[in-house]
Amino acid sequence: MEITEGAVLETLPGIVLATGESALYQTGDKVRVLTRKPIGHYRVPIYLRGKSGVVQSVIKPALDNEAEGFGRNAGRERHYYRITVSMAALWVGYAGAPGDALLIEVFETWLERI
Amino acid sequence: MTSEVEHAAHDHASAIPHAHTHEDAAETPGYFEIMEISVRELLIERQLITEAEIHRQIDVLDSRTPALGAKIIARAWVDADFRGRLRADGRKTCEELGITFYDNTRLIVLENTEKVHNLVVCTLCSCYPRPILGLPPEWYKLKPYRARAVSEPRKVLAEFGTIIPDDVEVRVTDSTSILRFLVLPRRPPGTDHYTEEQLAGLVTRDAMIGVATIAAPISEQNP
């Protein structure tokens, strides 16, 4: 299996987690990539927006590239998720085997649960 | 290059006081080269970076070549325990071998099997496992590869001479941010008696990107 660096944290009663400390999604969760059009730096290719996939592995928190592009770093760490998207779901008339897939890491703020 | 960029390059070049003759036209720096030189000189002039830092970084890059990746792959072929650790934590396991990750990226090793063939691309720019492979090949950075590797990977692979049977899944990894990827190719048949060094000699850069597989050595194909 691939690395899974982050996890949904289990805490003692009364412990309050900071934003981004606990992963929002786990391996196997179904997610959709949001359709957003931010101005500036982003790391989500346009072909992926609005597409659905499954979380393959959870990557430990890193800085939000979009915020970092404007020098806003503090409190901007969230998990990355490596997700699997079927090629047939990405491209109309995809010519290849049914099992062919795309894998890509997506920042937490770009995903929603489905 | 788009015509717009060419136009901009021409305008910029013509603004240089010393007009170039046709003979040295090939020596004229391109648009992006002029931009790179200008930004670099400005950064040095403003004392934000130094010449020494630039030279140091060039030395760092020059010390990384596909030979490092080949060493990792050969070790993974002969040592199952190493392969397991490499799959679990690529960066840490490479660091054990004495290869540093100067760009603070993480490494995922994608193992090719009888049922899965992996291919790596960066559609947004040119993310590449430089700490272990050095600079990416030119085609890896160009738009045709970047666009087609995610939309018609089997055709791209065929153009590299790599035919993947339909019962083998093609998994394309688009590298977008903090992760880097190394394909662990399948060990070619007929190499059971090879030493680790001999195996490393068979591993190619293209196989570690996933556009190629590693053929059995010719002497093994036609004994």
What confidence tens digit (pLDDT) does each residue in A43-81 have?
999 999 999 999 999 998 888 888 888 889 888 899 999
Mean pLDDT of chain B: 89
Q: What pLDDT does residue A113 have?
A: 97
E strands within chain B?
106-111, 116-121, 169-174, 179-184
Q: Does B134 touch chain A (CB under 8 A)?
A: no
Residues 6+ apart with CB under 8 A from B104: none
Is pLDDT at B60 greater than 50 in this prediction? Answer: yes
Is B154–A95 a contact, with Cβ atoms under 8 angstroms apart? yes
Which residues on A lie below 8 Å from B151 (Cβ)?
47, 90-91, 94
Q: What pLDDT does residue A6 have?
A: 59
Is pLDDT at B2 greater than 60 in this prediction? Answer: no
Alpha carbon dihedral B149, B152, B153, B156, in 10-degree steps, equals: -80
Distance CA B44, CA B3 (A): 32
Q: Does B174 touch chain A (CB under 8 A)?
A: yes
Distance CA A86, CA A101 (A): 4
**Residue where the block lists tokens 């199952």:** B80
How large is the ipTM? 0.91
**Residue where the block lists tokens 């325990």:** B81
Which chain A residue lies closest to B87 (C-alpha atoms)?
A: A2
Strand partners, A107: A80
- Domains plus CATH for chain B? 3-49 (no CATH), 65-221 (3.90.330.10)
Is A3–B89 a contact, with Cβ atoms under 8 angstroms apart? yes
Q: Which residue has the higher pLDDT, B104 or B197?
A: B197
Is pLDDT at B164 greater than 50 in this prediction? Answer: yes
Contact indicator for B188, B115 with CB cutoff of 8 Å: no
Distance from CA of B136 to the nearest CA of A (A): 19
Is pLDDT at A8 greater than 90 in this prediction? Answer: no
- Our answer to whether residue B125 is catalytic in this structure is yes
Contact indicator for B119, B173 with CB cutoff of 8 Å: yes
Q: What pLDDT does residue A75 have?
A: 84
Which chain B residue lies closest to A95 (C-alpha atoms)?
A: B152
Is pLDDT at B24 greater than 60 in this prediction? Answer: no
Is A97–B166 a contact, with Cβ atoms under 8 angstroms apart? yes
Distance CA B68, CA B64 (A): 7
Which chain B residue lies closest to A45 (C-alpha atoms)?
A: B124
Distance CA A57, CA B151 (A): 23
Is A87–B172 a contact, with Cβ atoms under 8 angstroms apart? yes
Q: How many residues comprise chain A?
A: 114
- Our answer to whether residue B127 is catalytic in this structure is yes
Taking only the tens place, the pLDDT of each residue in B169-200 is 999 999 998 899 999 999 999 999 999 999 99
Q: What pLDDT does residue B217 have?
A: 83
Q: What pLDDT does residue B220 have?
A: 60
Distance from CA of A53 to the nearest CA of B (A): 14
- Our answer to whether residue B177 is catalytic in this structure is no
Chain A window 14-73: which residues touch B at a Cβ cutoff of 8 Å?
43-45, 47-48, 59, 62, 65
**Residue where the block lists tokens 């992996």:** B118
In the DSSP assignment, the letter for residue A49 is: T
Q: What pLDDT does residue B72 have?
A: 98
Taking only the tens place, the pLDDT of each residue in A9-55 is 778 999 998 888 889 999 999 999 999 998 888 899 999 999 999 99
Q: What pLDDT does residue B13 have?
A: 39
Is B177–A90 a contact, with Cβ atoms under 8 angstroms apart? no
The phi, psi pair for B192, rounded to 5°, reads: -60, -35
Q: What is the CATH number of domain A30-113?
A: 2.30.30.50
- Our answer to whether residue B94 is catalytic in this structure is no
- The catalytic position among B38, B63, B125, B177 is B125
What mean pLDDT is predicted for residues B196-214? 97
Alpha carbon dihedral A70, A71, A75, A80, in 10-degree steps, equals: 60
B106-111 and A52-63: which strand pairing?
Answer: unpaired
For chains A and B, what is the number of CB pairs under 8 angstroms? 81
Q: Does A101 touch chain B (CB under 8 A)?
A: yes
Is pLDDT at B48 greater than 50 in this prediction? Answer: yes
Map residue A54 onto helix, strand or coil: strand
Is pLDDT at B163 greater than 60 in this prediction? Answer: yes
CA angle B127, B130, B135 (to 5 degrees): 90
Contact indicator for B170, B119 with CB cutoff of 8 Å: yes
Is pLDDT at A7 greater than 90 in this prediction? Answer: no
Model confidence at A3, in pLDDT bands (50, 70, 90)? Answer: low
